[in-house]
Every structure is written in C-alpha cells, then in structure tokens.
Amino acid sequence: MARILITSALPYINGIKHLGNLVGSQLPADLYARYMRGRGHEVLFLCATDEHGTPAELAAAKAGEPVADYCRRMHGVQEDIARRFGLSFDHFGRSSSPQNHRLTQHFAGRLADNGYIREVSERQVYSRADGRFLPDRYIVGTCPNCGYENARGDQCENCTKQLDPVDLIDPRSAISGSTDLEVRETKHLYLRQSALRDELDRWIDSKTDWPLLTTSIAKKWLHDGDGLQDRGITRDLDWGIPVKRGDRDWPGMEGKVFYVWFDAPIEYIGCAAEWAEATGNDWERWWRTDRGADDVRYVQFMGKDNVPFHTLSFPATLIGSGEPWKLVDHLKSFNYLNFDGGQFSTSQGRGVFQDQALEILPADYWRWWLLSHAPEGSDSEFTWENFQVSANKDLADVLGNFVSRVTKFCRSRFGETIPEGGAWGEAEQALAESLTTRIRAYERQMEAMEVRKSAAELRAIWVAGNEYLQSAAPWAVFKEDPARAAMQVRLGLNLMRLYAVLSAPFIPDAAERILAALGCDDRGWPDDVAGALDTLAPGHAFTVPEPLFAKITDEQREDWQARFSGRRD
C-alpha cells in the first residue's frame, strides 16, 4: 500500500468559481484521490481557500464586509459547493489559518538566515485619491501586449502575459478608478530565486514523467530572456500575514504583509497542520522526509497559469529553507477550458459557475463531461450541444440503460433476488477476458493521470456490458432456457456492481445509487475480473433503482444556452 499526498490549486476566496476552475485542478485531483483510495492506498487529499491579497480586499469592499468576515463566509460557501460536487478532500483549509501564519513566517526566517532574501528599495505606484500604495492587482489598464483594456498589474487575463504595473497603458486604481497616480519609493523583500536556478533546473530535469505542458512552462521561466528572476514576497497591504522573521519582528517591514503567492503554496503544509490538529493525526509524516515523508508520493494538480509558482517559487522556498521538506513528485497541469466560443472568466462573469451548474443538474453530469473532456493536450471548449450529446449517450443510453434493462428484466421474470441456475459459456468467458484487458488499461491510464483516456476506457467497459446484453438477449433465451437466462441476468447484475466500483471516481453519486439498489457495500477492486463477476450470489436481494440519468431535452439545452450567454452580475 502506497502513501499518496494530493493537493489541488487553491481557489481564490473572491466569489464562486466557474467550471473551468473546477476541471483545471480540484476535479481531476478528486478523481485521482478516489481512484487511489479505491485501490487501497493511504491518501491525504488537501485543498484550501486562498484568502490573502488584492482579490480578497476588493471582493470584501464590494460586498460591504470586513475582509476577515467576508473570507470566513466565502470559505463556507466554497466548502459547501465542493461537498456538493463530491470533492473528497480530507481537509479544506484556509490560507489565513494560524498554522499558515506560523509556517510562512518560519520559512521567511529560514530563507533569510540562509541568504536567500534581499531587501530592495523600489518605486511603486501610489494613489493619491486612495491614500495608499497600490499593489499589482489594485492597478488595471490596457495590456501593452494584446490591447486588453482591463489587464491587471500582475498579469493580463486575456493573453496571460506576466506584467508589471508600470507596463500598463492608461493605468487606474482598481479601488476608486482614479488616474491620479504617482510613483513613490518603498522597501520590499525579494526571494533570491536566481541563486537557486541551477538546483531547480536539475530537479526539473529529473522529472521525466511530467507532462510536457508542465516542463515547458518551467523551462521557459528558467531560461527565456534573462532567466529566472528574483521575486518580491511582500506587499503594502493591510490584509495578510504580517512580515516577520520567524517569531521575530523584521525591522523596516512594519505594516507590510507577505505576498499572496509566497504564503498560498505554503498553505498546502498549513492545511495538513490544520487537518492534524482537527483529527489528531501526524502531519509531519506527510511533509518532512526526516519524519517519514520519504516514502510519500506527492502529486499536485493545477491549471497552466499556476505552473511557474509551483515548479519554481514554491520549490525555491522549500529548498532554500535548508530543511527536509517533501518536494512534489508529479505535477499534473491543464490547459484552459473555454466556454461556448469564448473564455470562462471570473472577473468578467462569463460562463457557467459552479453554484449555477448544481442548480440545473446533479454533480455527476458535470463531473462526467468535464473529466471526459479535460483540457490536457490543448485547450478544450464547453458547448451546450456537446454537453447534451455526451450526457445523453454516455450516461443515459449506455450506463443508465444497462442498469435499467438488467434490473427490470430480472424483476419481471425472476423477482427482486438474484436468480440461480445456468453456467458460463464461451460468450461469458470472452466477456470476462475482454473486460480484464480493458480494466487493466483503465488502471494504467488512471495511474498515469491520463484523464480523458481513462474516461474513454471506462465508457468502453460500459459499452462491453451493453453489447453482451444485446447479444445474449436473455428476454428471448428465457422462453426456451430459463436457467441460461438466469445466468445471463446474474452476470448482468454483477456487472452493475463492477461498474459502480470502476465508475466511482468519475460519478460517485451514481455509483452509490447502484450499490444501494444492489444492497451491496462490497467495493473490492476487480483484480480478478472473473471472480468479481461472481460476487453477488443467487438469492441476494436487490431493488430496481430510479433512472440514473434523465436525458437532457432540446428545450432544456436551448433555455440554458440563453440563460448563460451573458454576464453574471
């Protein structure tokens, strides 16, 4: 049994996220966590809300709430939505936690002691109207690269180019809209990433199984232009983790906080400490190689925009501390999911947001479509037409229809208990052999975190059962050979259990409904497929479930297309 640590990118606290955020990190991480638990491994799956920085302050101001109250409330909202989407976090923490405060200040102190922090006097934008320095995200303007008029001071959301506030054309305050800005001098701390470039380069080169997307982004940041740059880790903000050198004050840094991109990844460790405090577990055995984490496999999931911080900045923090912290073993990155001819955008309110999705359909519809269309090799696009076709064909016609036909036919001919009689023939043996091949392929794809290929294998396994049922035709066989029909139906009911076990990582609610209908809590993985197809014995009672999936009608699709085509205010 392996020990597997899984983290997904932390969602910002500023509102409810769209479906692109879900498929870019949390959902595939949950898929992997559920699969690995199903195989019997010890899993710790962590996530948290990212609560510091400009997005939190701006969102709280817009909501008319103190920022701490806003973050507390929105953490509850995001945690509830995650639960309703079936995200099986072992802990869903908060980057504002006391544990993360202590760890962030600890790392800053260690980095300073080891010579990886330098103090820099720099010129920063100051808003006279607002009476404060404006950190990068407090400044918006026109992107000099693509001309997008609402680019932020740290990154253009439209073209993803990293920016500096002084690069923006016609900059203005994101707080007041004022253009009465000037540049003043202030002091900040910088992480000397450049001093760790060679060590980071060697470490990334050792990750031969990482997705090309991950390594190409990391290498670009390491070597393009002037190479890896030192990065500011403090900001002139009120909300955040106060700048300290461990438990000591940091002269000259009074009133400043650590930059959100410094403290947010540290919350992965902080989240484990929160979990341990709540459960009585030992978090250090997951994170410190001198306390047992040397045998942990650590896997991260995130969108491509987060890759530089998790392949360079966060590892630089861990390595530069000089302490035996666990580094990521595999970083699974994703491209973008676009929406119906455009881009999902939280700031612009474009696309289907997670709460809206759950209002119109249960989570399994969304989980299946998003995972089976995950943007791995390239960007992918959500369209209502494709969503309707996939849900109707895959979920309703293939899986749902199989469950309905088997259970209803058995009830009508043999009652609501698994019938006895008959023995396997060539067709059943061939099915078992075919399923064995496909299930082993499914396992390989899941272990490799090939999400779309895993979904395709799972669908093929569902199809194999339908094809067997159609070819065997127990409804016709029953007239002349009831015992053989009984065997075919018994096999079909065992296939249902097998499908529930295999499908649980993708569609956990439907899997639980299948197992409940079968009156079966046996979730044993099918290492021996032939044996798994004989798990439920004659005489075992079952019930006919309600349809697993209702088809999406053209009228529903058209209504949703109209409802979600505009801006969400």
Tell whether the torsion through CA atoms of 9, 196, 52 and 271 is positive or negative.
positive
524 CB-contact burial (10 Å; exposed 0-12 / middle 13-18 / buried 19+): middle
Q: What is the DSSP string of 286-328?
A: HHBGGGTGGGEEEEEEEEGGGHHIIIIIHHHHHHHTTS-BPPP
Residue with tokens 């990521």: 328
How many beta carbons lie within 10 A of that of residue 247, not counting itself?
9
Residue with tokens 């975190």: 449
Q: Give the residue numbers of the binding site for ATP.
A: 346
Quote the tokens at residue 327. 């580094």
Q: Give the residue numbers of the binding site for Zn(2+).
A: 143, 146, 156, 159
Q: Tell me the CA distances in angstroms from 409 to 5, 345, 401, 476, 537, one per residue in order.
A: 44, 48, 12, 11, 18
Cβ(512)–Cβ(470) under 8 Å?
no
Q: Tell me the CA distances in angstroms from 201 to 40, 62, 198, one per residue in order.
A: 35, 42, 5
Q: Give the residue numbers of the binding site.
A: 143, 146, 156, 159, 346
Which amino acid is located at 100 in the chain? N
Q: Tell me the CA distances in angstroms from 262 to 13, 71, 105, 120, one per residue in order.
A: 16, 19, 10, 17
Return d(Cα 422, Cα 416) in angstroms, integer. 18
Return d(Cα 200, Cα 206) in angstroms, integer. 10
Return d(Cα 302, Cα 415) in angstroms, integer. 49
List all residues 6 or more positions away from 66 whose beta carbon is below 8 Å from its beta carbon.
60
Length of the chain: 569
